[in-house]
Amino acid sequence: MTKLSVSVDEEIAQVVRDSAARDGVSVSAWLSEAAANRIRNELLGQALDALGEELGDLTDAETDELVAQARSASILTANEAGAA
């Protein structure tokens, strides 16, 4: 595990602290999960862009189905996120 130091606006910091407390996790765990979710979303966007280039424009229904499938199959861990 790598330690990071980050700076955020006080309002954001308080919302993060409150959300982490509600979830019963540390701020570090909450931020780590938030970062992993962001990475998953970026990777999903890249995959959808590549698929769109290969198959042509996707309909909204096709995109929604692919997103749902990707989310249900997602097992990205912090180690996998670093390798992405």
The model carries a pTM of 0.66
| Residue 25, CA distances (Å) to 1, 18, 21, 36, 60 in order | 17, 10, 6, 15, 36
Instruction: Write out pLDDT tens, residues 21-78.
Output: 999 999 999 999 999 989 988 888 888 888 888 888 888 898 888 778 877 776 554 3
**Structure confidence at residue 74 (pLDDT):** 65
Q: How far separated are the first and last CA of the chain, in Å rounded? A: 16
